[in-house]
Amino acid sequence: EKLAKKDKVVAIGETGLDYYWNHSTLPCQMEAFRKQVNLAGKLNLPVIIHDREAHQDTLKILAEEAKGLKILMHCFSGDLDMAKVCIGRGYYLGIGGVVTFNNAKKLRTIVEEVSLENLVLETDSPYLTPHPFRGKPNEPKYIPLIAERIAKIKGVSVKEVAERTSVNSKEIFGI
């Protein structure tokens, strides 16, 4: 809490649930997640959510604990129905390098269906490097590749994607 109160802190996270790796028990993860979301509420900070194979529990905890908070679903990996739930709650979907992968049809469908007003661009550095640089460490310099792919999917200009997602990021983080 002491660190989260510092002026340079703009969000709590990345925090959430990860059912892929077995590094801690589910009750322990849930308790820590709830505490961090509650801290964000206490300090009126947005929350960056990590949700790996834990969609239902993540949404349940957010519904219970995150009312009124700005939420960024980092590296969104849910389906279209989950995207609609998130957007209905006012959450933003983080879109990274995965959208450029050949096998990312589900994510591209989501990007096609949702408004740019609900998306932000992100890297997940050093992971999930966009095509054609997979296998190399991810870096912020690859963000334009993500914007290009989203622009192509949505039939808009890269400039429009960049401008709208930048506005969204500023809204989330209050910058």
Mean pLDDT split into 10-residue runs, the chain, 175 residues: 93 95 87 98 98 96 97 98 98 98 97 98 95 95 98 99 99 95
CA separation for the pair 39, 66 (Å, rounded): 10
Count of CA atoms in the C-beta half-sphere (13 A) of 167: 8
Count of CA atoms in the C-beta half-sphere (13 A) of 43: 20
Would you put residue 114 in left (φ > 0), alpha (ψ -120 to 50) or beta? beta
pLDDT at residue 16, rounded to an integer: 97
What pTM was computed for the model? 0.95
pLDDT at residue 23, rounded to an integer: 79
pLDDT at residue 24, rounded to an integer: 85
| Distinct helix (H) and strand (E) counts, the chain | 6, 5
Beta-carbon count within 10 A of 87 CB: 19
